[in-house]
Structure 1
Amino acid sequence: MKAEQQQSIPPGSASFPSQMPRPPPVTDQAITTEAELLAKSQITPNDVLALPGITQGFLCSPSANIYNIEFTKFQIRDLDTEHVLFEIAKPEHDQENEEPPTESARYVRYRFAPNFLKLKTVGATVEFKVGDIPIHHFRMIERHFFKDRLLKCFDFEFGFCIPNSRNNCEHIYEFPQLSQQLMDDMINNPNETRSDSFYFVDNKLVMHNKADYSYDA
């Protein structure tokens, strides 16, 4: 992991908590909705878009990733200043490890400075490799919540990936304008800002990652 120093916003950090934090209280309907999805043979983009809140667990197992999609590098930069805010890369020797990811490895904890919440547009560059099977209609839906409030839903297409290829792309995140009160609440409640990242191939869920965020670095 490495981060580039900048003038306005300190570099962020990421860690993998040993235990997933307990989710916020949810209604019976939300529990029923998630349970219904877990009972389905195939979960679609429309299914996750209909969820009323952050998920309590993972909606698919690591074995659902039959395409061997593996993310090897992730970088976030402020598009207004070109400053790199965060960067992490998987070591080459870890990339050769074919062991499936553990549950804790699918949950990342990020820590940023308070000024991160004032950013308008951020570029997120990802590098990833795929296995022997061609990938059509690779799509990510990422939903961000503060407690039980939906802050923003991002929906990105990766496109087609040829077998055994390494790929990279940059997605542009346009952040919502937050009130000062909401920013203060998010700063004063670390790890209560959370996200679900759902990855689909041909409209079928194949990967699910989770994260939480604090803004007190």
Structure 2
Amino acid sequence: MQFLCSQAGYRLVQFLEFSIKNEDTNEMLFQLKRPEIPLNWEDIDPAEEGRTVNYKFPISFLQAKNIGTTLTFAVGPKELSSFRMIERHYFRDRLLKSFDFTFGFCIPNTVNTWEHIYEVPALDEKTKKEMVLSPGQTVSDSFYFVDNKLVLHNKASYSYC
């Protein structure tokens, strides 16, 4: 797997919690929480940080019209100016949706929570069926920028069952 930058960005920001829920039904679809907040940023080994996630969602995820996400992250000893994430979702190399989220300025040594509700792209039933029958062929790239410089690049794959 190829990434567009090193893992050094993990010395700037640590992702602590992430959840996804169907806003229309209030069904929690995914939830992940790190066991602890890093206390000493110098002890973080970026090479030990995961850069890929394999999501397994219920098929009901594909019926959702509105998804809510909550992200909790810790900022290290340096401020994050113009913190931004661009995320692109693909199925078999076809762009399904692109998201552009601006977190803005983040104060050093803080824990922040960011919530966003967005519309899920409309997919035809044939595509949804193919996505269910093709685990791992729905993928995403998440690009994180500070001051317009790419500092992190993560990848995810999706399966629906």
Does the Cα contact within 8 Å between 2:137 and 2:157 map onto a contact in 1? yes
- What code does the residue aligned with 1:90 have? R
Deviation at 1:136, TM superposition (A): 1.1
Does the Cα contact within 8 Å between 2:140 and 2:156 map onto a contact in 1? yes
Aligned to 2:33: 89
Aligned to 1:79: 23
State the 4+ residue runs in structure 1 displaced beyond 2 angstroms.
Answer: 94-97
Rounded to whole Å, the distance in 1 between the matches of 2:11 and 2:121 is: 33
User: What do you get for the CA RMSD once the two structures are aligned?
Assistant: 1.6
Deviation at 1:184, TM superposition (A): 0.6
Does the Cα contact within 8 Å between 1:72 and 1:95 map onto a contact in 2? no
Aligned to 1:152: 97
SS in 2 for 1:95: coil
Deviation at 1:81, TM superposition (A): 2.2
Aligned to 1:111: 56
Aligned to 2:112: 167
1:66/1:86 Cα in 2 relative to 1: closer, same or farther (>3 Å)? Answer: closer
SS in 2 for 1:91: coil
- What code does the residue aligned with 1:144 have? H
- TM-score of the two chains, using structure 2 as the length reference: 0.92
For structure 1, the 5+ residue unaligned runs are: 1-55
User: Is 2:88 the counterpart of 1:143?
Assistant: yes
For structure 2, the 5+ residue unaligned runs are: none
1:139/1:151 Cα in 2 relative to 1: closer, same or farther (>3 Å)? Answer: same
Deviation at 1:67, TM superposition (A): 5.3
Rounded to whole Å, the distance in 2 between the matches of 1:101 and 1:86 is: 25
Rounded to whole Å, the distance in 2 between the matches of 1:157 and 1:112 is: 26
Deviation at 1:82, TM superposition (A): 2.1
Aligned to 1:191: 136
- What code does the residue aligned with 1:84 have? M
Rounded to whole Å, the distance in 1 between the matches of 2:64 and 2:28 is: 13
Q: Give the strand-richer structure, 1 or 2.
A: 2
Deviation at 1:85, TM superposition (A): 1.6
Rounded to whole Å, the distance in 2 between the matches of 1:138 and 1:123 is: 20
Aligned to 2:45: 99
- Give the % identical residues: 51
- TM-score of the two chains, using structure 1 as the length reference: 0.69
Larger radius of gyration: 1
Rounded to whole Å, the distance in 2 between the matches of 1:85 and 1:95 is: 26
Rounded to whole Å, the distance in 1 between the matches of 2:135 and 2:103 is: 31
SS in 1 for 2:46: coil
**Superposed CA offset, 1:119-176 (max 9, x none):** 1111110000011111111100000000110000011011111111110011223111
Rounded to whole Å, the distance in 2 between the matches of 1:85 and 1:149 is: 24
Rounded to whole Å, the distance in 2 between the matches of 1:66 and 1:213 is: 23
Does the Cα contact within 8 Å between 1:75 and 1:88 map onto a contact in 2? yes
Deviation at 1:89, TM superposition (A): 0.2
Does the Cα contact within 8 Å between 2:11 and 2:46 map onto a contact in 1? no
